[in-house]
Structure 1
Amino acid sequence: MIRRAKQEEIGRIKKWLHETAISLQQKEIQQWQKFLTAEGREVVAADFHKGYLYVYTNDKDEPIASISICDKEEWDASLWKDDKEAYYVHRVVVSSAGKGQSIGGTLLTWSKQKACKEGKVLRLDCVEENYFLVSFYKNKGFKQVGTVNGFALFEAK
């Protein structure tokens, strides 16, 4: 099930981001470096307070993954120069307990449906050299619509 995150789940999500950032760093992928610091992970609390933060739960209603579905913010505006009605996906993270269950794809499909229902497109970006994510997004029905400052831009309708 996918639902809005609860405040008491913020710490768990920060931990997942930190673990994933370490894993990416070990693979020499220059993405999510900011989540190596406690200060960088504070964006999770901000996402929660803005109503952007969602979790995927197991059958015991325990979160095992999260996603932020955001309105256009400063980062997005630096990459996307138009005013199209859109949601922006950020910080998709799956806990070790959720790995290998296709949860990332489920979160993206759900996000596309949410955006479509609300008359918006769904956008996301990643470091263009993160070949795993570029391929993953394309396989999930996102179209690469450009590259800006080393970031691949994707959109789904």
Structure 2
Amino acid sequence: MMQASILNDYQIKIASEAESGKIMDMLKEVAIWIQSQGIDQWQYLLGGGDDDEIKQAVSKGNTYLVTKGDKLAATFTLSSEQNDWDKHIFGEEANHDSLYLYRLAVKPKFMKKGLGAAILNWIDEEITIDKQYIKLDCVENNPKLNAFYKNNGFELIGVTDGHSKYRKSLKN
């Protein structure tokens, strides 16, 4: 399988609190790259928006680092608890059946190699949790990102406040 072979060159691990700054720097680097592509997304990260939430996710052990050798290539966060944004976008979950994916980011020099898809596949294969779905949202007016999630098995379940809402059944 192509994705498995891609990940053979990478390590995925839970981030330590000491790595919070490195993660925030990487997310800001990706946000700058996104803006350079004319995409209206993640500007709030550049002004420090979400810094506290990012640090909190790291301290809870919800944030992952993807490295190639000693180079940080990607990061993502998974949480089984809804935050205020999730409640706004998806509505409050009555049955708590979802795992939420946040801030999946691949550094520009590691893009276009299938790493993002391999990470999504890794989550599906390696994360064992008593949840039925993995959910995420992204800006509706980013056609490439929306196509990426659709091409990786996510189902568009609606749009709220300009954000596409996606879900995918977890294998478990």
- Runs of 5+ consecutive residues of structure 2 not aligned to the other structure: 1-10
- Superposition pairs of residues 1-157 of structure 1, within 5 angstroms: 1-58=11-68, 60=69, 62-70=71-79, 71-81=81-91, 82-83=93-94, 84-114=96-126, 117-120=128-131, 121-157=133-169
The ranges of structure 1 where at least 4 consecutive aligned residues each deviate by more than 4 angstroms after the TM superposition are none
Deviation of residue 114 (structure 1)? 4.7
> Structure 2 counterpart of 1:150, which letter?
G
5+ long unaligned stretches in structure 1: none
Distance 1:147 1:18 in 2: 26
Q: Displacement of 1:26 after TM fit? A: 2.7
Shift of 1:37: 1.4
- CA drift of 1:94 comes to 1.3
Aligned-residue CA RMSD (Å) = 1.9
Percent identity for Structure 1 against Structure 2? 29
- Give me the TM-score of the superposition, normalised by structure 1: 0.88
Q: 1:72 & 1:49 partners in 2: Cα distance?
A: 17
CA displacement at 1:102 relative to structure 2? 1.6
TM-score (norm 2): 0.81
Contact 1:66 1:93 in 2 (8 A): yes
Residue range with higher mean Cα deviation, 16-25 or 123-132: 16-25
Say whether the 8 Å CA contact 2:30–2:108 is kept in structure 1: no
Q: Is the 8 A contact 2:33 2:108 kept in 1?
A: no
Q: Distance in 1 between matches of 2:163 and 2:148?
A: 15
| Number of equivalences | 155
